Structure 1
Amino acid sequence: MKKLLLCFFVITFCNACTKKKKSPLVGKWKLTHVLVDPGNGKGAFQKVNQKKVIEFFDDGTLKTNVSYCPLDDDKTIGMSGTYNMNHTLLIMPCTSSGSKINFEINESILIIDYPTQCMEPCKEKYTKID
């Protein structure tokens, strides 16, 4: 019985000490490139020098230093939102239903896609800064 209890204690202790795997999205990301497409589908990412930053948190929330809502008059006001890694989706509170923005992440590159906000492809590329 003592061996069984000891075994149970060791297994419980080991499971409690394992770190949860942190999402690769968690941290600060800075805008570095914007996709410029003249409407023919042959657009390319162009380097930009902006201070647009998104910070993602472990709890599925995010904060930005600018607005991501297409109809906002003042784009310099930051905002909060949520993200879902399973559906690669950012949700911003732009309207009552929210504005849904797709994303993809590849190592230290984050690409945000605005599928409903532009007639041509509309994407931004971010690099992790923290």
Structure 2
Amino acid sequence: MNKLLILFIIPLLFSCQEDDEVQIETDVIGEWEIVARYADPGDGSGSFQPTTGKFLTFSNNNVLFCNQGFCFASLTQATTTGSFDDSNKTITTSDCDATYSFNGMFLEVSYLCIEPCIERYIRVN
């Protein structure tokens, strides 16, 4: 009986697999769409809130294009062009300077403002 039990258990162990692998991004080149913005009322209790409408495009020649104001989009709807340095993960625009990093499938862009300003993007292409 124990031998039969073992014969049934061994195939089950090898048949289980993880189908929900999280994609980990490492290459910034391409188009990214904003999905969340960090909002903090000033007491450290902030969280990421869903948002849409902002796109970043990172080109092979280190040029960044944004379809609205890069850091203060709510203040201006003008498009923004800037540059980025992939070796130190920095972005420079006329609006402000920023840094970026990868967090799993997200590109996170951080820049200085009154409270922490962090935006999360997902790859479009």
CA contact (8 A) 2:100 2:109 kept: yes
Query: In the aligned structure 2, how far is the partner of 1:26 from the partner of 1:71?
Result: 22
Gapped regions of structure 1 (runs ≥ 5)? 1-22
The amino acid across from 2:115 in the alignment is E
Q: 1:112 aligns with which of 96, 109, 112?
A: 109
Q: How much has 1:72 moved relative to structure 2?
A: 9.0
Q: What do you get for the CA RMSD once the two structures are aligned? A: 2.0
Residue aligning to 1:77: 78
Query: In the aligned structure 2, how far is the partner of 1:62 from the partner of 1:119?
Result: 24
Residue aligning to 1:15: none
The amino acid across from 1:61 in the alignment is V
Secondary structure of 1:31 counterpart: strand
Aligned residues: 100
Query: In the aligned structure 2, how far is the partner of 1:88 from the partner of 1:102?
Result: 6
Gapped regions of structure 2 (runs ≥ 5)? 1-25
Secondary structure of 2:70 counterpart: coil
Percentage of pairs with the same residue: 24
- The correspondence of residues 63-102 of structure 1 with structure 2, limited to 5 A, is 63-70=65-72, 75-94=76-95, 99-102=96-99
Residue aligning to 1:25: 28
Question: TM-score when scaled to structure 1?
Answer: 0.69
Poorly superposed stretches of 4+, deviation over 6 Å: none
CA contact (8 A) 2:71 2:111 kept: no
1:47–1:64 CA distance, 2 compared to 1 (3 A) = same
Query: In the aligned structure 2, how far is the partner of 1:72 from the partner of 1:39?
Result: 19
CA contact (8 A) 1:30 1:129 kept: yes
Q: How much has 1:70 moved relative to structure 2?
A: 4.0
Query: In the aligned structure 2, how far is the partner of 1:41 from the partner of 1:81?
Result: 31
